[in-house]
Chain A
Amino acid sequence: MENLTEKEQKNLKNEKVTINIDGSDYEVNKGLTVLEAARSVNIEIPSLCYLKDVNEIGSCRVCVVEIDGTRNLQASCVYPVREGLKIKTNTERVRRARKTAVTLLLANHHRECTTCIKNLNCELQNVSDNLGIRNIPFTGEMKDYGLHNNNPAIQRDYNKCINCRRCEAICRKIQECNVYSALNRGLDTIIAPAFQKDLADVSCIMCGQCVIACPTGSLTDKEYIDDVWEVIKDPNKHVVVQTAPSIQVTIGELFGMPIGSFVAGKLVTSLKRMGFDKVFATDVTADLTIMEEGSELIERITKHPDSLPLLSSCCPGWVKFAEHFYPEFLPNLSTTKSPHEMCGALTKTWYAKKYNIDPKDIVNVGIMPCTAKKYEAQRPEMVSDGFRNVDYVLTTRELGRMIRQIGLDFANLPDSEYDEPFDQYSGAGMIFGATGGVLEAAVRTAHKLITGKEAKVPDFNDARGQSGLKYGEVTLGDKNIKIAIAHGTGNAKKALEMYKSGEKKFDYMEVMACPGGCVGGGGQPILGGKDHKYISLSYRHNRADTLYNIERGKNIRNSYENQRIKEIYKEFLKKPLSDISKEYLHTSFISRSKTPYMKSDK
């Protein structure tokens, strides 16, 4: 994220240079590459390996242009503009080289477009179409590495990999998990985890940012659509579905609606029409998470200040990151389960009893913005009274596919309401979907619990926005609490390193593994295909803005005011951090190594 801000600052200086593209002069910002400059003046240069601010390595050679004074064609995505630069973007020579590059990629790409998950949303397909490639004259060896999917969340089809290395870059530079690197040489080069292990055997946190970054169908979420249809059609099963807060502002994109459209009502309608027995909002249990985590915060501040800083733990990618890379911080992780798992736990216990349903017949399906949630749902800890809290997790994209499968015109669906008892939620629960939201919500509640009064300024503007790592201070009663917010695990790493070195201390930190928080989650819609040039980290703002705007209009903005939460405590849990709460709503963590495969090899 540092890259992003540095670059933006560079552009903010607003130094201009004049360059000539295809015979016309343009004034563009200094510090841009030729590709960015051309796109800024609406000249399209095709690209594949380029991912704004993440992967700028000039490896696919699709964005080549002629630059005056250079002998060979240059990759425009890495060539800096300078005063007087003369560029040609559409000569015969350029068109030919681009076509050859894509043709070569296709010659080694298993072209199963019609049955590929990325069909119609594939950048390779799109660029091939734009360049008018109709014929692959090359025959010969095509590598066959097969599908690797021995993990619950992400599948890797090397046969569709075009070695753009966007997955490697986002994993290394943004997430700093360093899962992927290039192995072998020549045509045998593949981008894979060490020793070509499955993602389950390395320090992968299952965040799915590589899936978002992948321009083809090489990295995709592991689909559970058929399993879900199977339980829906079973009359003996009581199938409940829960939707995470961020889904309501992102799923519209899959049906042509603008980025940031708020579609909670249509979402509920679509799920009901699919045949789910009950449609719940995970936002409700987000309020519950706040009650528990807020109480934990107070307890640590007032009774065990040595156990500070408190680190949020509702993000399963971040939890796994801490388990792999910072096991020394595991005692600092909040033991509160994520809202998703709380919803699962409560449906199999309190809800089952209240509505007199045998918990063995209840199936809880989560619609999550996240691939790591698929993994979280299968963690051994996530079981209540012998029943798995959440049975299946579908990403936003998978739900979109299911909606298309039954032919719903999503954009024109009427609105419906969520079902009791997980229907009403506060604004605090809702903003869980954006970075900073959890911390903001927890602080609001902690303030109330400590002082008995509402927080004076309910909007902690400090917490919002897309800067990767933010620090601030809040007053809780007579105490000043230092807070930190990180999104993108690379930023969490930075914060923890600075904490360890004493450079920057904090008492409470929220971490979301994905840049932007859940709105930028690894299970969210991919702006691929024709929108490829907008792919960067910045579109995630718009999704978050909608969450905050809707939240601002809500009557109830604090978790402790939520009527449903009061009911749950009254009927079942008694009070936050009670024994029952600890039994069902709290969890534990495992120390894992950075190289788990070394262990499994023994």
Chain B
Amino acid sequence: MKYAPLKSINDLNKVKNQTLKSIEMRLTDVEKEIDKYHILVCAGTGCTSSKSNVVRNRLIQELKKRGLSDKVKVFKTGCFGFCKLGPIIVIHPDHTFYCKVDPEDVDEIIDKHISKGKVVEKLLYRSPKDNMLKKRMDEMDFFNHQKRIALRNCGVIDPEDINEYIAMDGYKALANILTENKNPEDIIEEVKKSGLRGRGGGGFPTGKKWEYAKSYENDKKFVLCNADEGDPGAFMDRSILEGDPHSVIEAMIIAGYSINAQQGYIYVRAEYPIAVDRLEIAIKQAKESGLLGENILGSSFSFNLDLRLGAGAFVCGEETALIHSVMGLRGEPHPRPPFPAEAGLWEKPTLNNNVETYANIPIILNKGSDWYSNIGTEDSSGTKVFALAGQINNTGLIEVPMGTSLKTIVYDIGGGINDNKEFKAVQTGGPSGGCIPKSLINTKIDFKSLTDIGSMMGSGGMIVMDETDCMVDIARFYLEFAQDESCGKCTPCRVGTKKLLEILEKITKGKGSMKDLEILKNLCYDIKDSSLCGLGQTAPNPILSTLHYFEDEYISHIKDEKCPAGVCNDLLKVVISDEKCVACGICARVCPVNAITGETKKPPYKIHQDVCIKCGACIPKCPVDAIYKR
């Protein structure tokens, strides 16, 4: 599709009104019968990997075959968040939410839903709470406790059509600024008043950051977007870029206007091919529409935007390392001061914000800072997107107001723990964060409260753990990650995190001593205190927080040489219950190392511990569940 260049706010409004008419059915409950359908197919990475693209193509093909192409339109859309249920499609105007849609289901959807107006029940979501089928998103607990601001357009619009973004008040904030020739100070003041804080992890007040970047005059200045989302399991930024790339682009243009920069870069991971693709399409369409490039909307303001792909180093999420990487250097941090606001890209003043931070900007400027600051807590206004994962029923992407309690997230949105196991802890902040124990489940999450209890907001990873998770092993996992991702520049991080990891490995093997625990603690403090960048300074957090709340687990590993959660293999034995064993001999046949001996029909069989490699192959094969780890 070719987009005509928009020369003024009136042009923009025209596009808005036209497009709005066509997508109105998605946004409201249409009273009157209309004979048209929109099928929105999630085209995020999660659903795409479970073949939502095949579903979409099949839909288009079948509709065409049946001559329904004019009546039913199929769209790509961004992430709905309920990723566990993917592939997800939503049919408008009746807002029917179908989950786990297989390409094979396409015929039934068309025949039943489209042709006869009947719901395909087998594709509806069944709530584990009341065992009832739920048709619409607003009937589901998963969505009801959420407030989608940054994700406002994900699952609503087609991210590959700029006009749909415009229909949702997209580029309105920018158009107002340019039309009214607004004072940059006033824009920055508005951002400051909103109380928006950096969503990348640090939580630095965004308005203040813009103010600093504005205060350094230079012939060249830059606006950067940090889309190098690296926390294991986190995909907040990816979903925004895949579902609503224009919100980030618009915000960056506004940021450029506010600090007097004419060039921006989005630093995005190459492992996000869909996001990269959508961004490229969005930039192209924005340029065609006259919303990016020279003389935006016919004004005197020009701003260019380019992508820079990162090779997936975690440290490149650190802003100075990111800047090095954008310049084509090895991704390594450098000491601050000078801060990027003073000397960043090519030593020029540079403003760097995270994807989610940017996604909030246009709506803040449209609805006003008061509206935004009324959401959330005093310390942290607005909402936060989390990637909810772990031992929980509903995994996926959620956005909640700041101040929502962990309990609401785990039990209401998350639907509680898998298999009714006992909840143990929530890990937030990824490799830089910590574990929050059950006793603190009523904590209302915002920047301050999470830091106060030894964790941190981070970029939004949230992993729920239950009784089968070993906290020492969790700490070990994160340290392995930190050591692997350390850029190797400063001593505490390069060597220190390795030494932490080695001590943890010793402990998980039952070879640790209480002296090791002391060395571990001291080294944690020194690494935190003296590392060069945030990666090193926060790398010990997973150890410190688990040590603080779960010290008994460490001590069990050391003194009793036992792993209470039954995770650490070296401390476990695979044993056969004498009472349960029926001497069928299956286990002995499965064992790859012939560690099990016994005589058929003469129980019990026995596992020779000196031979057993603890692979666990025998456990699921036992017909009477007589084999277990302890």
* Residues of chain A at the chain B interface (Cβ within 8 Å): 57-62, 64, 72-75, 78-80, 93, 96-97, 100-101, 104-105, 107-108, 137-141, 162-163, 181-182, 184-189
Known: A138-B519, A184-B488. 17 other contacts (CB 8 A): A72-B529, A72-B531, A75-B532, A79-B335, A79-B337, A97-B526, A100-B526, A104-B495, A105-B491, A107-B495, A163-B489, A163-B494, A182-B330, A182-B332, A182-B489, A186-B494, A187-B495
- Which single member of A137, A138, A163, A185 contacts B313 (CB below 8 Å)? A185
- 3 closest residue pairs by CB, A with B: A189-B488, A140-B502, A104-B495
State how many angstroms separate the Cβ of B64 from the closest Cβ of chain A: 50
* Residues in B neighbouring A141, C-beta threshold 8 A: 498, 502
Question: In whole angstroms, what is the CA distance A105 to B490 when docked?
Answer: 10
Minimum C-beta distance from A516 to chain B (A)? 29
Q: How far is the CA of A485 from the CA of B539 in the complex (A)?
A: 50
Cα distance, A79 to B337, chains bound together (Å): 7
Query: Provided the pairs A137-B519, A186-B483, A186-B484 are in contact, do residues A97 and B530 lie with their beta carbons within 8 angstroms?
Result: yes
Chain B residue with the shortest CB-CB distance to A98:
B530
Question: Could you tell me the distance in whole angstroms from the C-beta of B534 to the nearest C-beta in chain A?
Answer: 10
CB distance from B434 to the nearest CB of A (A): 17
In the complex, which residue of chain A has the Cβ closest to the Cβ of B523? A100
Q: How far is the CB of B535 from chain A (nearest CB, A)?
A: 11
A108–B495 alpha-carbon span in the complex (Å) = 7
The minimal Cβ–Cβ distance linking B426 to chain A, given in whole angstroms, is: 25
How many angstroms between the C-alpha atoms of A181 and B502 in the bound complex?
A: 27
Would A104 and B499 be within 8 Å (CB), given that A58-B532, A59-B489 are in contact? yes
Contact residue among A62, A75, A182 (Cβ-Cβ distance under 8 Å from B488): A182
Minimum CB–CB distance for B371 against chain A, Å = 33
- In the complex, the number of residue pairs spanning A and B with C-beta atoms less than 8 Å apart equals 109
B528 contacts chain A at the CB level, 8 A cutoff: yes
Bound: A182/B528 CA distance, A: 23
A contact residues around B332 at 8 Å (CB): 182
Q: How far is the CB of B238 from chain A (nearest CB, A)?
A: 23
The residues of B that contact A97 with a CB separation of less than 8 Å are 526, 529-530
Question: What are 15 A-B pairs with beta-carbon distances under 8 A?
Answer: A57-B334, A72-B528, A72-B530, A74-B335, A75-B335, A97-B529, A100-B492, A101-B492, A138-B519, A163-B494, A184-B488, A185-B313, A186-B484, A187-B486, A187-B495
| Chain B neighbourhood of A79, CB < 8 A | 335, 337
**Does B496 sit at the interface, judged by CB under 8 A?**
yes
- B528 and A186 contacting across the interface, CB-CB below 8 Å: no
Query: Does B364 count as interface, using CB distance less than 8 angstroms?
Result: no
Residue of B nearest to A82 (CB): B337
- CB-based contact B485/A140 at 8 Å: no
Q: Are A138 and B502 in contact (CB under 8 A)?
A: yes
Query: Which residue of the partner chain A has the closest CB to B525?
Result: A96
Contact B485 A80 (CB under 8 A): no
Contacts A138-B502, A141-B498, A186-B498 given; does A101 touch B530 at CB 8 Å = yes
Residues from chain B with a CB closer than 8 A to the CB of A138 are 499, 502, 519
Question: Which of A104, A139, A141, A162 gathers most chain B CB within 10 Å?
Answer: A104
Give the complex CA separation of A89 and B136 in angstroms: 64
Contact A64 B337 (CB under 8 A): no
Residues of A within 8 A of B330 (CB): 181-182
Partner of B497, one of A60, A96, A186: A186
Cβ of B318 to closest chain A Cβ, rounded Å: 14
User: Does the CB pair B537–A187 fall under 8 Å?
Assistant: no
Closest A residue to B482 by CB, please name it: A186
- B491 touching A73, Cβ below 8 Å: no
A contacts with B: majority SS: loop
**A182 and B490 alpha carbons, distance in the complex (Å):** 12
Residues of A within 8 A of B499 (CB): 104, 107, 138, 140
Cβ contact within 8 Å between B488 and A187: yes
Complex CA–CA separation, A101 to B492 (angstroms): 6
CB contacts (< 8 Å) of B334 on chain A: these are 57-58
Q: A187 to B532, Cβ gap below 8 A? A: no
A523 to B495, CA, bound (A): 32
Q: Is the interface of B mostly helix, strand, loop or mixed?
A: helix
Contact present for B484 and A185 (CB under 8 Å): yes
Contacting pair B537 A60 (CB below 8 A): no
A101: chain B residues at CB < 8 Å are 491-492, 526, 530
Q: Is B487 an interface residue (CB 8 A)?
A: yes
A189 surroundings in chain B (CB, below 8 A): 486-489, 494
B313 to chain A, nearest CB (A): 7
Q: Taking A107-B499, A140-B499 as contacts, is the C-beta distance between A58 and B492 under 8 angstroms?
A: no
Contacts of A62 in B (CB 8 A): 491
Q: Is B313 in contact with A60, judged by CB distance below 8 angstroms?
A: no
Q: How far is the CB of B410 from chain A (nearest CB, A)?
A: 31
Q: What is the bound-complex CA distance between A137 and B496, given in angstroms? A: 12
Least CB distance from B125 to A in Å reads: 43
B487 touches A73 (CB 8 A): no
Say how far B586's CB is from chain A's closest CB, in angstroms: 41
Q: Which of B193-226 contact A (CB under 8 A)?
A: none
| Interface flags, B227-239, vs A, CB<8A=1, else 0 | 0000000000000
**How far, in angstroms, from A186 to B313 measured CA to CA in the complex?**
11
Best-buried of B487, B498, B523 by chain A (most CB within 10 Å) = B498
How many Å lie between the Cα of A288 and that of B537 in the bound state? 61
Residue from B485, B491, B497 with most neighbouring chain A CB atoms (10 Å)? B491
Question: Considering only CB atoms, which chain A residue lies closest to B499 in the complex?
Answer: A138
Alpha-carbon gap, A139 to B529, bound state (A): 22
Residues in B with CB closer than 8 Å to A75 are 335, 532
Contact between A187 and B494, CB atoms less than 8 A apart: yes
Are A140 and B498 also in contact (CB < 8 A) when A58-B335, A72-B537, A182-B330 are? Answer: yes
Closest to A105 in B: B491
- Most B CB contacts (10 A, CB to CB) among A62, A97, A162, A185 go to A185
Of B335, B490, B530, B532, which is in contact with the most chain A CB atoms at under 10 Å from its CB?
B530
Instruction: List the A residue with the shortest CB-CB distance to B338.
Output: A80
Per the bound structure, the CA–CA distance linking A129 and B470 in Å amounts to 41
With a CB–CB cut-off of 8 A, which chain B residues contact A108? 495
Chain A residues, CB < 8 A from B532:
58-59, 61, 75
B488 touches A64 (CB 8 A): no
| CA of A73 to CA of B530, assembled, Å | 5
Q: Do B488 and A186 touch across chains, with their CB atoms under 8 A apart?
A: yes
- CB contact list, B284-314 vs A, under 8 A: 313
Query: With A80-B337, A141-B498 known to touch, is A186 a contact of B492 (CB < 8 Å)?
Result: no
How many angstroms between the C-alpha atoms of A181 and B330 in the bound complex?
A: 9
Establish whether residues A61 and B337, one from each chain, have CB atoms under 8 Å apart when the complex forms: no
Cα of A407 to Cα of B488 in the assembled complex, Å: 43
Give, as a whole number of angstroms, the nearest-CB distance from B568 to chain A: 18
What is the CA–CA distance of A78 and B522 in the complex, to the nearest angstrom?
26
CB distance from A145 to the nearest CB of B (A): 14
> Smallest CB-CB separation from B527: which chain A residue?
A100
Bound complex: CA A138 to CA B522 (Å): 12
Q: Is B502 touching A185 in the complex (CB atoms < 8 A)?
A: no
Q: How far in angstroms is the closest Cβ of chain B from A211? A: 22
Question: Roughly how many angstroms separate A62 CA and B335 CA in the complex, as a whole number?
Answer: 14
The chain A residue sitting closest to B337, CB to CB, is: A80
Of all chain B residues, the one with the shortest Cβ separation from A99 is B526
Q: Are B537 and A100 in contact (CB under 8 A)?
A: no
- In the bound complex, CA of A64 to CA of B536 (Å): 15
In the complex, what residues of B have CB within 8 A of residue A74's CB? Answer: 335
Q: How far is the CB of A132 from chain B (nearest CB, A)?
A: 16
> What chain A residues lie within 8 Å of B492 (beta carbons)?
61, 100-101, 104
For A162, list chain B residues within 8 Å (CB). Answer: 491
Docked complex Cα distance between A107 and B519 (Å): 14
With contacts A97-B530, A181-B330 known, is A60 near B491, CB below 8 A? yes
Bound form: Cα–Cα A73–B531 in Å:
8
Tell me how far the C-beta of B301 lies from the nearest C-beta in chain A, rounded to whole angstroms.
Answer: 35
Q: With the chains together, A140 CA to B337 CA distance in Å?
A: 35
A93 x B529 contact (CB < 8 A): yes
A78–B335 CB distance below 8 A: yes
By the criterion CB–CB under 8 Å, are A61 and B488 in contact? no
A186, B530: Cβ atoms closer than 8 Å = no
How near does chain A come to B303, taking the closest CB pair, in angstroms?
Answer: 32
The CA of A188 and the CA of B495, in the complex, are separated in Å by 10
Complex Cα gap A57–B330 (Å): 14
